[in-house]
Amino acid sequence: MLKTKDYFQNLEATPVFQELDDEVAATCSGGRVEYNGPNPDVILYENNFRGGRRLGINATNSDGPTDLGNNGLGVFGNWNDKTSSIEVVRGTWQVYMHTGFRHPSRVLTPGYYPDAGAIGLPNDSISSIRRVG
Q: What is the pTM of this model?
A: 0.74
Of the two residues 61 and 29, the one the predictor is more confident about is 61
- Mean pLDDT of the residues in the chain: 83
The domain limits of the chain are: 32-131
At 63 the pLDDT is 87
- 2 or 44: which carries more pLDDT confidence? 44
Q: What does DSSP say about strands 102-108 and 93-98: parallel, antiparallel, or unpaired?
A: antiparallel
pLDDT of 111 strictly over 90: yes
Q: Would the CA dihedral through 124, 130, 132, 133 be positive or negative?
A: positive
CATH homologous superfamily for 32-131?
Crystallins (2.60.20.10)
Q: What's the CA angle centered on 13, arms 9 and 14, to 5 degrees?
A: 120
Calculate mean pLDDT across residues 76-92.
93
88: which strand partners? Answer: 42, 111
Residue 16, pLDDT > 90, answer no
Model confidence at 18: pLDDT above 70: no
pLDDT over 60 at 21, yes or no: no
The DSSP result for 65-116, as a single string, is -S--SHHHHGGG---TTT--EEEE-SS-EEEEEETTTEEEEEEE-SEEE-SG
How many other C-beta atoms can be found within 10 angstroms of the C-beta atom of residue 100?
9
